[in-house]
Structure 1
Amino acid sequence: MPTTSLPRRAGARTAALAALTLAATAAGAPAFAQPGGDNGDVKIHKVGTPFDDQRNQPKVCDFYLAAFNFDAGERVTWTIKTQPPVPGGPQLPNSKYPNNVVIIESDGMAQTIPLELPDGQYKLTWKTDKGHGAGKHKVFKVDCPISKPTAPPGPNGGPPAGGGGLARDDAFGPVAGAAAVGLAAVTGVVWFRVRRRAHGA
Protein backbone atom coordinates (compact mmCIF):
# COMPACT_ATOMS: atom_id res chain seq x y z
CA MET A 1 0.00 0.00 0.00
CA PRO A 2 2.71 2.56 0.87
CA THR A 3 4.54 1.88 -2.40
CA THR A 4 1.43 2.46 -4.51
CA SER A 5 0.44 5.76 -2.75
CA LEU A 6 3.80 7.50 -3.41
CA PRO A 7 3.47 7.66 -7.22
CA ARG A 8 -0.08 9.00 -6.86
CA ARG A 9 1.11 11.86 -4.61
CA ALA A 10 3.94 12.74 -6.98
CA GLY A 11 1.54 12.72 -9.94
CA ALA A 12 -0.91 14.98 -8.09
CA ARG A 13 1.86 17.47 -7.29
CA THR A 14 3.01 17.53 -10.92
CA ALA A 15 -0.53 18.12 -12.16
CA ALA A 16 -1.09 20.93 -9.64
CA LEU A 17 2.16 22.62 -10.64
CA ALA A 18 1.27 22.40 -14.34
CA ALA A 19 -2.18 23.91 -13.65
CA LEU A 20 -0.67 26.84 -11.74
CA THR A 21 1.84 27.51 -14.53
CA LEU A 22 -0.93 27.45 -17.15
CA ALA A 23 -3.09 29.83 -15.08
CA ALA A 24 -0.22 32.27 -14.61
CA THR A 25 0.53 32.22 -18.34
CA ALA A 26 -3.12 32.81 -19.22
CA ALA A 27 -3.36 35.69 -16.74
CA GLY A 28 -0.30 37.38 -18.22
CA ALA A 29 -1.31 36.86 -21.86
CA PRO A 30 -3.85 39.73 -22.17
CA ALA A 31 -1.24 42.26 -21.06
CA PHE A 32 0.88 41.37 -24.08
CA ALA A 33 -1.93 40.73 -26.54
CA GLN A 34 -4.03 43.86 -25.70
CA PRO A 35 -4.57 45.68 -29.02
CA GLY A 36 -4.17 49.45 -29.31
CA GLY A 37 -7.01 51.94 -29.51
CA ASP A 38 -8.07 52.26 -25.89
CA ASN A 39 -5.21 54.57 -25.02
CA GLY A 40 -5.14 58.35 -24.92
CA ASP A 41 -7.50 61.09 -23.84
CA VAL A 42 -9.25 64.09 -25.38
CA LYS A 43 -9.55 67.55 -23.80
CA ILE A 44 -11.71 70.62 -24.34
CA HIS A 45 -9.52 73.71 -24.85
CA LYS A 46 -10.37 77.40 -25.00
CA VAL A 47 -9.11 78.98 -28.21
CA GLY A 48 -5.65 80.33 -27.40
CA THR A 49 -4.67 77.44 -25.09
CA PRO A 50 -1.40 75.78 -26.24
CA PHE A 51 -1.88 72.47 -28.05
CA ASP A 52 0.37 70.59 -25.62
CA ASP A 53 -1.49 71.78 -22.51
CA GLN A 54 -3.16 68.65 -21.12
CA ARG A 55 -5.64 70.44 -18.86
CA ASN A 56 -9.35 70.05 -19.57
CA GLN A 57 -11.34 73.29 -19.64
CA PRO A 58 -15.02 72.41 -19.08
CA LYS A 59 -16.28 76.02 -19.47
CA VAL A 60 -15.41 77.73 -22.76
CA CYS A 61 -16.61 80.15 -25.42
CA ASP A 62 -14.81 79.44 -28.71
CA PHE A 63 -13.01 76.12 -28.30
CA TYR A 64 -11.17 73.26 -29.97
CA LEU A 65 -10.60 69.56 -29.23
CA ALA A 66 -7.10 68.35 -28.32
CA ALA A 67 -6.07 64.67 -28.25
CA PHE A 68 -3.10 63.18 -26.36
CA ASN A 69 -1.34 59.81 -26.14
CA PHE A 70 -3.33 57.99 -28.82
CA ASP A 71 -1.83 55.51 -31.27
CA ALA A 72 -0.31 57.14 -34.35
CA GLY A 73 -2.51 56.91 -37.42
CA GLU A 74 -5.77 56.30 -35.57
CA ARG A 75 -8.79 57.74 -37.35
CA VAL A 76 -11.11 59.53 -34.93
CA THR A 77 -14.76 60.42 -35.52
CA TRP A 78 -16.28 62.84 -33.02
CA THR A 79 -19.71 64.33 -32.37
CA ILE A 80 -20.99 66.99 -29.97
CA LYS A 81 -24.65 67.11 -28.90
CA THR A 82 -26.69 68.92 -26.28
CA GLN A 83 -26.59 67.45 -22.79
CA PRO A 84 -29.22 66.40 -21.84
CA PRO A 85 -30.28 65.65 -25.43
CA VAL A 86 -32.56 68.24 -27.04
CA PRO A 87 -34.34 67.10 -30.23
CA GLY A 88 -33.30 69.45 -33.02
CA GLY A 89 -30.84 71.21 -30.70
CA PRO A 90 -27.44 72.56 -31.80
CA GLN A 91 -24.80 69.95 -32.55
CA LEU A 92 -21.55 69.27 -34.39
CA PRO A 93 -20.89 68.41 -37.12
CA ASN A 94 -23.19 70.84 -38.90
CA SER A 95 -23.28 72.83 -42.12
CA LYS A 96 -20.67 75.27 -40.81
CA TYR A 97 -18.34 72.53 -39.50
CA PRO A 98 -18.99 69.44 -41.65
CA ASN A 99 -15.64 67.71 -41.02
CA ASN A 100 -15.65 65.69 -37.80
CA VAL A 101 -12.75 63.33 -38.59
CA VAL A 102 -9.27 63.67 -37.06
CA ILE A 103 -6.16 61.61 -37.85
CA ILE A 104 -3.78 61.09 -34.91
CA GLU A 105 -0.26 62.29 -35.68
CA SER A 106 2.98 60.38 -35.12
CA ASP A 107 3.41 61.95 -31.66
CA GLY A 108 -0.01 60.66 -30.55
CA MET A 109 -1.58 64.14 -30.68
CA ALA A 110 -4.21 65.85 -32.82
CA GLN A 111 -6.33 69.01 -32.74
CA THR A 112 -9.47 70.25 -34.44
CA ILE A 113 -10.00 73.71 -35.90
CA PRO A 114 -11.64 76.33 -33.62
CA LEU A 115 -15.34 75.55 -33.11
CA GLU A 116 -18.41 77.56 -32.07
CA LEU A 117 -21.73 76.59 -30.48
CA PRO A 118 -24.54 78.57 -28.82
CA ASP A 119 -24.43 78.87 -25.04
CA GLY A 120 -25.47 75.63 -23.34
CA GLN A 121 -24.24 72.28 -22.02
CA TYR A 122 -22.88 69.66 -24.42
CA LYS A 123 -21.44 66.16 -24.54
CA LEU A 124 -18.49 65.16 -26.73
CA THR A 125 -18.26 61.58 -28.01
CA TRP A 126 -14.82 60.64 -29.40
CA LYS A 127 -14.46 57.26 -31.16
CA THR A 128 -11.41 55.81 -32.89
CA ASP A 129 -11.29 53.15 -35.58
CA LYS A 130 -9.12 51.04 -33.24
CA GLY A 131 -11.31 51.42 -30.16
CA HIS A 132 -13.18 48.59 -28.47
CA GLY A 133 -15.85 50.36 -26.43
CA ALA A 134 -18.18 53.34 -26.41
CA GLY A 135 -15.33 55.80 -26.95
CA LYS A 136 -14.21 58.76 -24.87
CA HIS A 137 -16.72 61.26 -23.49
CA LYS A 138 -16.51 64.80 -22.12
CA VAL A 139 -19.33 67.03 -20.83
CA PHE A 140 -18.65 70.76 -21.06
CA LYS A 141 -20.39 74.12 -21.08
CA VAL A 142 -20.31 76.91 -23.66
CA ASP A 143 -20.77 80.29 -21.96
CA CYS A 144 -19.78 83.37 -23.95
CA PRO A 145 -19.85 86.88 -22.42
CA ILE A 146 -22.45 89.23 -23.86
CA SER A 147 -20.83 92.21 -25.58
CA LYS A 148 -23.11 95.09 -26.52
CA PRO A 149 -21.98 97.16 -29.53
CA THR A 150 -21.08 100.74 -28.71
CA ALA A 151 -23.07 103.36 -30.65
CA PRO A 152 -20.88 105.80 -32.61
CA PRO A 153 -20.71 109.28 -31.05
CA GLY A 154 -22.89 111.96 -32.70
CA PRO A 155 -23.34 115.74 -32.43
CA ASN A 156 -24.75 117.15 -29.20
CA GLY A 157 -28.33 118.16 -30.01
CA GLY A 158 -29.74 119.20 -33.37
CA PRO A 159 -29.50 122.49 -35.20
CA PRO A 160 -31.33 125.52 -33.75
CA ALA A 161 -35.02 126.07 -34.63
CA GLY A 162 -35.59 127.11 -38.21
CA GLY A 163 -33.35 124.46 -39.71
CA GLY A 164 -29.74 124.71 -40.79
CA GLY A 165 -27.14 126.46 -38.70
CA LEU A 166 -24.51 125.12 -36.35
CA ALA A 167 -24.74 122.38 -33.80
CA ARG A 168 -25.35 123.49 -30.22
CA ASP A 169 -21.72 123.50 -29.10
CA ASP A 170 -20.61 125.40 -32.18
CA ALA A 171 -23.47 127.92 -31.94
CA PHE A 172 -22.41 128.96 -28.45
CA GLY A 173 -18.68 128.80 -28.87
CA PRO A 174 -16.75 132.02 -28.15
CA VAL A 175 -15.48 132.46 -31.71
CA ALA A 176 -18.90 131.91 -33.23
CA GLY A 177 -20.48 134.27 -30.71
CA ALA A 178 -18.03 137.06 -31.46
CA ALA A 179 -18.56 136.63 -35.20
CA ALA A 180 -22.33 136.87 -34.79
CA VAL A 181 -22.09 140.06 -32.70
CA GLY A 182 -19.70 141.69 -35.19
CA LEU A 183 -21.97 140.84 -38.13
CA ALA A 184 -25.00 142.34 -36.35
CA ALA A 185 -23.10 145.56 -35.57
CA VAL A 186 -21.90 146.04 -39.15
CA THR A 187 -25.40 145.36 -40.53
CA GLY A 188 -26.90 147.96 -38.15
CA VAL A 189 -24.46 150.68 -39.19
CA VAL A 190 -25.04 150.09 -42.92
CA TRP A 191 -28.81 150.12 -42.50
CA PHE A 192 -28.63 153.31 -40.40
CA ARG A 193 -26.54 155.10 -43.08
CA VAL A 194 -28.80 154.03 -45.93
CA ARG A 195 -31.89 155.15 -44.09
CA ARG A 196 -30.32 158.52 -43.15
CA ARG A 197 -29.40 159.27 -46.76
CA ALA A 198 -32.84 158.35 -48.02
CA HIS A 199 -34.45 161.01 -45.84
CA GLY A 200 -31.84 163.59 -46.72
CA ALA A 201 -30.73 164.00 -43.15
Structure 2
Amino acid sequence: MPTTSLPRRAGARTAALAALTLAGTAAGAPAALAQPPGDNGDVKIHSVGTPFDDQRNEPKVCDFYLAAFNFDPGEMVTWTIKTQPPVPGGAQLPDATYPDNTVTIEQNGRAQTIPLGLPDGQYKLTWKTNLGHGAGKQKVFKVDCPVSKPTAPPGPNGGPPAGGGGLARDDAFAPVAGAAAVGLAAVTGVVWFRIRRRPHGV
Protein backbone atom coordinates (compact mmCIF):
# COMPACT_ATOMS: atom_id res chain seq x y z
CA MET A 1 0.00 0.00 0.00
CA PRO A 2 1.58 3.37 -1.03
CA THR A 3 2.47 5.89 1.65
CA THR A 4 3.12 9.66 1.59
CA SER A 5 5.89 9.70 4.19
CA LEU A 6 8.73 10.10 1.67
CA PRO A 7 7.40 13.25 0.02
CA ARG A 8 6.82 14.76 3.46
CA ARG A 9 10.41 14.02 4.44
CA ALA A 10 11.67 15.59 1.21
CA GLY A 11 9.59 18.67 1.85
CA ALA A 12 10.95 18.96 5.39
CA ARG A 13 14.52 18.68 4.13
CA THR A 14 13.90 21.39 1.51
CA ALA A 15 12.48 23.73 4.13
CA ALA A 16 15.42 23.10 6.45
CA LEU A 17 17.94 23.82 3.67
CA ALA A 18 16.15 27.04 2.77
CA ALA A 19 16.22 28.17 6.39
CA LEU A 20 19.93 27.48 6.66
CA THR A 21 20.60 29.41 3.44
CA LEU A 22 18.72 32.45 4.68
CA ALA A 23 20.50 32.32 8.01
CA GLY A 24 23.88 32.18 6.30
CA THR A 25 22.99 35.10 4.05
CA ALA A 26 21.87 37.22 7.00
CA ALA A 27 25.02 36.40 8.94
CA GLY A 28 27.25 37.29 6.00
CA ALA A 29 25.47 40.55 5.16
CA PRO A 30 27.38 42.80 7.61
CA ALA A 31 30.71 41.46 6.43
CA ALA A 32 29.78 42.12 2.82
CA LEU A 33 28.62 45.69 3.57
CA ALA A 34 31.66 46.68 5.62
CA GLN A 35 34.14 48.84 3.70
CA PRO A 36 37.82 47.90 3.93
CA PRO A 37 40.10 50.55 5.48
CA GLY A 38 41.05 53.32 3.09
CA ASP A 39 37.93 53.23 0.96
CA ASN A 40 35.75 55.25 3.33
CA GLY A 41 35.13 58.97 3.45
CA ASP A 42 34.72 61.72 0.90
CA VAL A 43 36.54 64.90 -0.11
CA LYS A 44 34.91 68.24 -0.99
CA ILE A 45 35.98 71.38 -2.83
CA HIS A 46 35.41 74.46 -0.62
CA SER A 47 35.71 78.15 -1.42
CA VAL A 48 38.00 79.97 0.99
CA GLY A 49 35.69 81.20 3.73
CA THR A 50 33.41 78.13 3.74
CA PRO A 51 33.41 76.51 7.22
CA PHE A 52 35.54 73.37 7.58
CA ASP A 53 32.59 71.29 8.81
CA ASP A 54 30.33 72.18 5.86
CA GLN A 55 29.94 68.93 3.89
CA ARG A 56 28.62 70.55 0.72
CA ASN A 57 30.75 70.41 -2.43
CA GLU A 58 31.32 73.64 -4.34
CA PRO A 59 32.07 72.81 -8.00
CA LYS A 60 32.78 76.46 -8.95
CA VAL A 61 35.36 78.39 -6.90
CA CYS A 62 38.08 81.03 -7.04
CA ASP A 63 40.51 80.55 -4.15
CA PHE A 64 39.72 77.20 -2.55
CA TYR A 65 40.81 74.41 -0.22
CA LEU A 66 40.15 70.68 0.10
CA ALA A 67 38.08 69.31 3.00
CA ALA A 68 37.89 65.59 3.86
CA PHE A 69 35.23 63.82 5.95
CA ASN A 70 34.68 60.35 7.46
CA PHE A 71 38.05 58.84 6.58
CA ASP A 72 39.91 56.41 8.82
CA PRO A 73 41.95 58.25 11.47
CA GLY A 74 45.69 58.37 10.90
CA GLU A 75 45.54 57.73 7.15
CA MET A 76 48.05 59.56 4.95
CA VAL A 77 46.56 61.22 1.87
CA THR A 78 48.28 62.24 -1.35
CA TRP A 79 46.34 64.49 -3.72
CA THR A 80 46.92 65.95 -7.18
CA ILE A 81 44.96 68.45 -9.29
CA LYS A 82 45.31 68.55 -13.08
CA THR A 83 43.52 70.19 -15.98
CA GLN A 84 40.41 68.39 -17.20
CA PRO A 85 40.59 67.31 -19.96
CA PRO A 86 44.36 66.92 -19.63
CA VAL A 87 46.36 69.72 -21.28
CA PRO A 88 50.10 69.18 -21.89
CA GLY A 89 51.95 71.73 -19.81
CA GLY A 90 48.70 72.93 -18.24
CA ALA A 91 48.39 74.28 -14.72
CA GLN A 92 48.42 71.71 -11.94
CA LEU A 93 49.05 71.16 -8.25
CA PRO A 94 51.39 70.50 -6.56
CA ASP A 95 53.73 73.07 -8.08
CA ALA A 96 56.50 75.38 -6.92
CA THR A 97 54.01 77.53 -5.02
CA TYR A 98 52.28 74.60 -3.28
CA PRO A 99 54.88 71.80 -3.15
CA ASP A 100 53.28 69.83 -0.30
CA ASN A 101 50.37 67.67 -1.47
CA THR A 102 49.98 65.37 1.54
CA VAL A 103 47.69 65.56 4.57
CA THR A 104 47.05 63.32 7.58
CA ILE A 105 43.51 62.37 8.58
CA GLU A 106 42.75 63.53 12.12
CA GLN A 107 41.13 61.43 14.87
CA ASN A 108 37.70 62.79 13.94
CA GLY A 109 38.11 61.49 10.38
CA ARG A 110 38.65 64.95 8.89
CA ALA A 111 41.43 66.89 7.20
CA GLN A 112 41.88 70.19 5.36
CA THR A 113 44.52 71.63 3.07
CA ILE A 114 45.88 75.16 3.05
CA PRO A 115 44.21 77.67 0.67
CA LEU A 116 45.02 76.88 -2.95
CA GLY A 117 44.87 78.83 -6.20
CA LEU A 118 44.88 78.02 -9.93
CA PRO A 119 44.25 79.92 -13.19
CA ASP A 120 40.69 79.92 -14.49
CA GLY A 121 39.75 76.59 -16.06
CA GLN A 122 38.38 73.12 -15.36
CA TYR A 123 40.31 70.66 -13.18
CA LYS A 124 40.13 67.18 -11.69
CA LEU A 125 41.16 66.34 -8.14
CA THR A 126 42.50 62.87 -7.33
CA TRP A 127 42.60 62.04 -3.59
CA LYS A 128 44.34 58.78 -2.61
CA THR A 129 44.96 57.34 0.86
CA ASN A 130 47.82 55.04 1.82
CA LEU A 131 45.24 52.35 2.73
CA GLY A 132 43.14 52.75 -0.40
CA HIS A 133 42.60 49.93 -2.88
CA GLY A 134 41.40 51.75 -6.00
CA ALA A 135 41.89 54.89 -8.05
CA GLY A 136 41.03 57.11 -5.10
CA LYS A 137 38.37 59.78 -4.72
CA GLN A 138 37.95 62.11 -7.68
CA LYS A 139 36.21 65.46 -8.12
CA VAL A 140 35.87 67.68 -11.21
CA PHE A 141 35.52 71.39 -10.51
CA LYS A 142 35.93 74.79 -12.14
CA VAL A 143 38.07 77.76 -11.14
CA ASP A 144 36.41 81.02 -12.19
CA CYS A 145 37.62 84.22 -10.53
CA PRO A 146 35.82 87.55 -11.16
CA VAL A 147 37.75 90.13 -13.18
CA SER A 148 38.22 93.41 -11.31
CA LYS A 149 37.19 96.44 -13.40
CA PRO A 150 39.44 99.57 -13.34
CA THR A 151 37.88 102.53 -11.54
CA ALA A 152 37.27 105.72 -13.56
CA PRO A 153 39.17 108.88 -12.50
CA PRO A 154 37.08 111.29 -10.41
CA GLY A 155 35.27 114.07 -12.32
CA PRO A 156 35.27 117.83 -11.58
CA ASN A 157 34.00 118.69 -8.15
CA GLY A 158 33.14 122.27 -7.08
CA GLY A 159 34.19 125.50 -8.83
CA PRO A 160 37.09 126.14 -11.19
CA PRO A 161 40.68 126.33 -9.96
CA ALA A 162 41.83 129.54 -8.32
CA GLY A 163 42.33 132.30 -10.90
CA GLY A 164 40.49 130.35 -13.57
CA GLY A 165 37.38 132.51 -13.60
CA GLY A 166 34.16 131.52 -15.29
CA LEU A 167 32.00 128.52 -14.44
CA ALA A 168 33.01 124.95 -13.86
CA ARG A 169 31.04 123.62 -16.87
CA ASP A 170 29.63 125.42 -19.96
CA ASP A 171 26.24 123.82 -19.46
CA ALA A 172 26.08 125.28 -15.95
CA PHE A 173 25.45 128.71 -17.48
CA ALA A 174 21.66 128.41 -17.40
CA PRO A 175 19.25 131.14 -18.52
CA VAL A 176 18.70 132.15 -14.88
CA ALA A 177 22.42 132.67 -14.38
CA GLY A 178 22.58 134.65 -17.61
CA ALA A 179 19.71 136.91 -16.55
CA ALA A 180 21.36 137.54 -13.20
CA ALA A 181 24.58 138.56 -14.94
CA VAL A 182 22.74 140.97 -17.25
CA GLY A 183 20.82 142.49 -14.32
CA LEU A 184 24.05 143.03 -12.40
CA ALA A 185 25.54 144.86 -15.39
CA ALA A 186 22.46 147.13 -15.68
CA VAL A 187 22.52 148.06 -11.98
CA THR A 188 26.25 148.81 -12.18
CA GLY A 189 25.63 151.11 -15.14
CA VAL A 190 22.92 153.09 -13.31
CA VAL A 191 25.12 153.65 -10.24
CA TRP A 192 28.02 154.80 -12.41
CA PHE A 193 25.71 157.17 -14.32
CA ARG A 194 24.47 158.78 -11.07
CA ILE A 195 28.01 159.24 -9.75
CA ARG A 196 29.03 160.95 -13.00
CA ARG A 197 26.14 163.44 -12.82
CA ARG A 198 26.76 164.70 -9.28
CA PRO A 199 29.89 166.80 -9.96
CA HIS A 200 27.96 168.84 -12.60
CA GLY A 201 25.23 169.73 -10.11
CA VAL A 202 22.44 168.38 -12.28
For the structure 1 residues 25 and 58, does the alpha-carbon distance in structure 2 shift closer, same or farther, using more than 3 Å as the test? same
Q: Partner residue of 1:18?
A: 20
Q: Partner residue of 1:144?
A: 145
**Residues 1-41 of structure 1 deviation map (CA, whole Å, 9 limit, x = unaligned):** 5386154444444333323322332334323x532322222
The CA distance in 1 between the partners of 2:70 and 2:78, in whole Å, is 16
Tell me the secondary structure at the aligned position of residue 67 of structure 1.
strand
Tell me the secondary structure at the aligned position of residue 100 of structure 2.
coil
Q: Partner residue of 2:195?
A: none
The CA distance in 1 between the partners of 2:17 and 2:55, in whole Å, is 51
Q: Partner residue of 1:123?
A: 124
Tell me the secondary structure at the aligned position of residue 45 of structure 1.
strand
RMSD (Å), alpha carbons: 2.9
The CA distance in 2 between the partners of 1:2 and 1:147, in whole Å, is 95
What runs of 5+ residues in structure 2 fail to find an aligned partner?
155-160, 166-202
Equivalence map 1:88-99=2 (5 Å): 88-99=89-100
Q: CA deviation at 1:116?
A: 1.3
Q: Partner residue of 1:188?
A: none
Q: Partner residue of 1:41?
A: 42
TM-score (norm 1): 0.66
Q: Partner residue of 2:53?
A: 52
TM-score (norm 2): 0.65
Equivalence map 1:150-161=2 (5 Å): none
Q: Partner residue of 1:66?
A: 67
For the structure 1 residues 4 and 80, does the alpha-carbon distance in structure 2 shift closer, same or farther, using more than 3 Å as the test? same
Aligned residues with identical type, % of pairs: 69
The CA distance in 1 between the partners of 2:82 and 2:153, in whole Å, is 39
Q: Partner residue of 1:157?
A: none
Q: Partner residue of 2:173?
A: none
> How many residues were matched structurally?
157
Q: Partner residue of 1:191?
A: none
The CA distance in 2 between the partners of 1:63 and 1:94, in whole Å, is 16
The CA distance in 1 between the partners of 2:20 and 2:129, in whole Å, is 40
Q: CA deviation at 1:77?
A: 0.9
Q: CA deviation at 1:144?
A: 1.8
